[in-house]
Structure 1
Amino acid sequence: MNYSADSLPEIKLIPLDCEALHFTQPGETRRPPTDIRWVKVLEFLRSNNLAPNSRKLYERELKRFLAWSELHYHELRPRHLALYKEYLRDEILTDAGKPLSKSSINAGVAALKSFFKWMCYTYPDIIATNPTLGIKLEKVPLPPAQSLTPEQMEQVWSALKLLGETNQRDTALVHILSHGLRAGEVVQLNVGSFDGKLLFLPDTKTNEPRLVPLRKESRDVLVEYLQLREQQGEVLNSDSPLMISHHASYKGERLSYHGIYFAVEKIGEIAHIEDLHPHSFRHTYATDLLLLGVDPSHARNSYLAPGNLNVNSLTKCQFSQAFNVL
């Protein structure tokens, strides 16, 4: 049968029920569709081993950006990010009703930089060019130096010689702290954590094990400390604590977190250094490596954990100076 245009039935438009399109059940509240951009943010947060506070900050800042912009990632350009930075500076207020500080603005921009760097690497088919590359951070005043000066470190080494019973233990303790370890990480160290050259940290703040190469002088000091304990009759095995207490109530037991702080404070009193604490040596270690030419991004990301440090970014001379293990 042949049909002509005139013989076809009239086309009728039937209005559709929007609620029916979303298959809502009676009495059910329709949820707004999921923003596909947020799915990528959640993937980014899961793929990075972020500390809880860092994860909250990233999530907050990325959620704020997505609420500001309706553009998909591939549509974003540097001018959009520049406008967003102005938005943070001019329109966002704190709970106290004050404009964001430069540090808070930088936190928002840094979160975006980290996310879009990950997006470009993970999904180059979605976004080939990082729109945050030309966005500069706000200039903020440098905080007071927290690392020890070379003169202060000399005062520390001199003070250690004036200690009595705890001399060798505290000397070994300072050598270990001077490699960037946290006090809590030192507490967990056992004799078996030291193989003569490296310290193995099975549990760290980032939940990742680390290998920490020691300088030759530090290795020798630690070996002498362990030998002294054996000469004094202690039977050492791999599970024995690396650092032990000399307190009358806990003599021979594992040196505690507070014990480390007390030992360092005592050294500070003798060395005439105010507010000396274990983290002072961690700051100093990071500063020393930066002065050797280590990329600041490595310093920030590993802070500085030699096990995580990209050794290929250092020259052989720099690595030898830093760790003296070549």
Structure 2
Amino acid sequence: MQLVKPLNYNTDSLPAIKLIPLDGEIPLNIQGIRSPKTIPPTDIRWVKVLEFLRSNNLASNSRKLYERELKRFLAWSELHYHELRPRHLALYKEYLRDELRTDAGKPLSKSSINAGVAALKSFFKWMCYTYPEIIATNPTLGIKLEKVPLPPAQSLTPEQMERVWSALELLGETKQRDTALVHILSHGLRAGEVVQLNVGSFDGKLLFLPDTKTNEPRLVPLQKESREVVQEYLQLRQQQGEVLNSNSPLMISHHASYKGERLSYYGIYFAVEKIGELAHIEDLHPHSFRHTYATDLILLGLDPTHARKLTGHHSDRAFRRYTLRGEQQAAIAAYYRAIGEEAEQ
């Protein structure tokens, strides 16, 4: 039997060792030297931020705000999360208040400072709950928000709503859809909630919202006229050959690139802005209808607890702007009754 001759290896005959790059990084050579064009390693702190953003049910605008504010904080501090203490967060708030400037060179408003602090509070609360082995104590607990006057409700007047309904009559292809859209928005839904609605979310009388900003399901009763408008819109789509099932989107896009697909968050904003232009209402946006709905509920005399349940407001303070107007209107009416005059309509 012929024996296999053993091979003699030396350093010259061995192939070069190649390290497999991760995430597009340029590989190291055997001495561990990297090319000058090396992509720096991902900040592990930012990885946690991305996980936080993915794990929370955030509306598009809220996600952008959180991402911007958390990125700003990480650029300010090089400390790892477990090294942070309340004094560091207090210094960061001072930085936002005293040093940071807008593009116009002005100090940040109290609302902008609060947005940055609120984003940090939400993130570190999540970190303490999700990774207690990394950060056991929330460093933002002692950091207070700036005191900001409660903004008034930006409700539409009855005259402005009449102009909205008239503007819808001027639309072409999107008339039926946008009419149904305004009817739904006029029942207090957020734009992000409308995006998620399916045909099965509407039972002919109520809208069911399984996944809302407050993480609680919500039932929204529609007025008779609104129910009929939504039914007519769905019937029109069926007449045009669309096969609807419970998972079909309730609102669909008419954009050439997305025709027939679910109407997006930005699609809703674009549709409402167009209606605002036709109605000659400056800065009309989807939330205008939510403000109007909440205000009307209070003016109708609905119990604020019931009104909050219908609108899905998370905090009493956020809803207070609507109860304030209701109380003011009631006080004015009581005054005119007391002096024997009719309140101005």
- Per the alignment, residue 313 of structure 2 pairs with 299
Q: Secondary structure at the match of 1:38?
A: helix
The CA distance in 2 between the partners of 1:186 and 1:214, in whole Å, is: 12
For the structure 1 residues 80 and 176, does the alpha-carbon distance in structure 2 shift closer, same or farther, using more than 3 Å as the test?
A: same
- Per the alignment, residue 35 of structure 2 pairs with 28
Q: Secondary structure at the match of 1:97?
A: coil
TM-score where L is the length of structure 1: 0.52
Q: Is the 8 A contact 2:53 2:63 kept in 1?
A: yes
Equivalent residue in structure 1 for 2:134, among 114, 117, 126? 126
Q: 1:123-179: CA deviations, max 9, x gaps?
A: 12222222212212222344442125xxx569969x99xxx9xxxx99987653332
Per the TM alignment, residue 33 of structure 1 is displaced from its structure 2 partner at its CA by 5.5
- Per the alignment, residue 72 of structure 2 pairs with 64
- Per the alignment, residue 92 of structure 2 pairs with 84
Q: Secondary structure at the match of 2:313?
A: helix
Per the TM alignment, residue 102 of structure 1 is displaced from its structure 2 partner at its CA by 2.1
The CA distance in 2 between the partners of 1:226 and 1:94, in whole Å, is: 44
Per the TM alignment, residue 119 of structure 1 is displaced from its structure 2 partner at its CA by 0.4
The CA distance in 1 between the partners of 2:232 and 2:104, in whole Å, is: 58
Equivalent residue in structure 1 for 2:292, among 266, 284, 289? 284
The CA distance in 1 between the partners of 2:205 and 2:149, in whole Å, is: 40
- Per the alignment, residue 51 of structure 2 pairs with 43
Per the TM alignment, residue 69 of structure 1 is displaced from its structure 2 partner at its CA by 3.0
Per the TM alignment, residue 116 of structure 1 is displaced from its structure 2 partner at its CA by 0.4
Q: What runs of 5+ residues in structure 2 fail to find an aligned partner?
A: 1-27, 170-176, 252-266, 319-345
TM-score where L is the length of structure 2: 0.50
Q: Secondary structure at the match of 1:199?
A: strand
Q: 1:50-106: CA deviations, max 9, x gaps?
A: 455544433332233233334332332322211210122122233343332222222
The CA distance in 1 between the partners of 2:78 and 2:192, in whole Å, is: 45
- Per the alignment, residue 207 of structure 2 pairs with 199
The CA distance in 1 between the partners of 2:42 and 2:192, in whole Å, is: 42
Alignment of 1:129-140 (within 5 A): 129-140=137-148
Aligned residues: 253
For the structure 1 residues 288 and 86, does the alpha-carbon distance in structure 2 shift closer, same or farther, using more than 3 Å as the test?
A: farther
CA RMSD of aligned residues (A): 5.6
- Per the alignment, residue 73 of structure 1 pairs with 81
